[in-house]
Amino acid sequence: MSRNAESTAFRSALEVIRAVEPRVADAIGAELTDQRESLKLIASENYASPATLLAMGNWFSDKYAEGTVGRRFYAGCQNVDTVEALAAEHARELFGAPHAYVQPHSGIDANLVAFWAVLADRVESPALKKAQVRQVNDLTEADWFALRRELGNQRMLGMSLDAGGHLTHGFRPNISGKMFDQRSYGTDPATGLIDYDRVAEAAREFKPLILVGGYSAYPRKVNFRILREIADSVGATFMVDMAHFAGLVAGKVFTGDFDPVPHAHIVTTTTHKSLRGPRGGMVLCQPELADQVDRGCPMVLGGPLPHVMAAKAVALAEARRPDFADYAQRIVDNAQALAEGLLSRGATLVTGGTDNHLVLIDVSGYELTGRQAEQALLDSGIVTNRNSVPQDPNGAWYTSGIRIGTPALTTRGLGAAEMDQTAELIHTVLTQTTAGANADGTPSKAKYNLDAGLADKVARQATDLLATYPLYPGIDLT
């Protein structure tokens, strides 16, 4: 698409929106301005291409399409079939997966589809067998009671939240922690790394139905071959949530033992983050789970979002281009440069560095909580998110860490030199921020002190750093 076409497309769209609700049009324009001027270091965010963004704003949004390709519960879905089939084809080819299901609306939805697919495939109960061969309306209350009891008593072993796992891997407030009898594996207290012998020991003792690999805040590679061997040793289904690092798998930065797709029975992911697509989810699986996964709607999901599936097809097609592999490698190179820049300035990093797209700073060395550091950085034009560190004394709300990632800045074109400058800005803010106090004089985990002039100066420096790497240079809304 030419730059003139991009500007025309988005400018025209905003004009149409403005005629109905100008405040929405203003907010959309303001969001572009904010993103252009801020150092976006949230590891789970990126910038989708104009083609991907435009694929979401069309008439597919008006279509119901429950079911799967060729087997819909609504008529007139032939065009939806086309885009869903294309998205699934691109996903299979990109990841080397036997089967792809592209309907999930989010990563959590994808995980729920995977959980229920495994339960339906593995659990042996009279009620479940009846459910598979009879209409749901024919099941008696006794059948339902037996089914709920059988499914609810299964076990799952996943990475703990403070070690870098995700809330959908059995965290108690999440539905996954209510569906399963769950236990977590952590990391070595001395190194912050996964101790595979301890995972194997936990699996032998707990005997889970599902062993979950994957993370949202673990800055190292994971050996999925070893985890599969552990799962096989106890007869567990091996599931991997690669939402954070799917782009590194797609770009062939993670291969062999570090590519989950050849080793896992079932893999879930989001389609944004390092994959640089629209917000949404996806499930990849081995053939024996395909039929159960394809029942995601109506088992777990409501109607699919055809406009988002169209955008997934576009983004996955982009990820199959040769330049995406270069992009994926630069994500890791930039993360390692950012980590080195922070370490050289005295910061403490969980595991001492990174092998992937993210860096986890332990801000207790700055005598701050994660919440204080997050807000101080935001005041200074640096967008991050607070995150737990292993054995975090401040819990999951205030935390002791800041998680930063490089997918978004890499999309803009920043390199190692700019990562070092970014490390300097982060270090400057954190060293000049002090913990605040509550009204009664007691220490606060949320309030902080930062000179407004310094925050403004850093924000200007961040904007200047980004000026050479404009965001969406082909889009002019004026």
Which residue in 279, 312, 330, 445 is the catalytic one? Answer: 279
Reply yes or no on whether 279 is catalytic.
yes
The single residue of 8, 11, 37, 64 carrying the catalytic annotation is 64
> 388-415: b or e for each residue (b if 16 or more CB lie within 10 Å)?
bbbebebeeebbbbbbbbbbbbbbbebe
Is 225 labeled as catalytic in the residue annotation? no
Largest CA distance in the chain: 69
Question: Does residue 66 have an active-site annotation?
Answer: yes
- DSSP 3-state of 182: strand
Q: Which DSSP symbol is given to 215?
A: -
338 is in an annotated binding site: no
Contact 49, 412 (CB under 8 A): no
Q: In 3D, which of 257, 151, 268, 287 has the Cα closest to residue 209?
A: 151
User: 227: annotated binding-site residue?
Assistant: no
* 289 class by beta-carbon count within 10 Å (0-12 exposed, 13-18 middle, 19+ buried): buried
User: Is 165 annotated as a binding-site member?
Assistant: yes
CA atoms within 13 A on the CB side of 97: 32
Question: Catalytic annotation on 270?
Answer: yes
- Candidates 145, 153, 160; CA nearest to 180 is 153
Is residue 63 annotated as a catalytic residue, yes or no?
Answer: no
Output b/e per residue, 323-345; b: 16+ Cβ within 10 A: ebeebbebbbbbbbbbbbbbeee
Binding site annotation covers 166? Answer: yes
Q: Are strands 39-40 and 382-383 parallel, antiparallel or unpaired?
A: parallel
Q: Which of the following is catalytic: 52, 168, 237, 270? A: 270
Which of 36, 40, 220, 273 is labelled catalytic? 273
Q: What is the identity of the amino acid at 2?
A: S
Choosing from 8, 18, 63, 66, the catalytic residue is: 66
Catalytic residue among 121, 241, 362, 392: 241
Which residues are annotated as part of the binding site for (6S)-5,6,7,8-tetrahydrofolate?
A: 161, 165-167
Q: Tell me the binding residues.
A: 161, 165-167
Q: Which residues are catalytic?
A: 64, 66, 241, 270, 273, 279
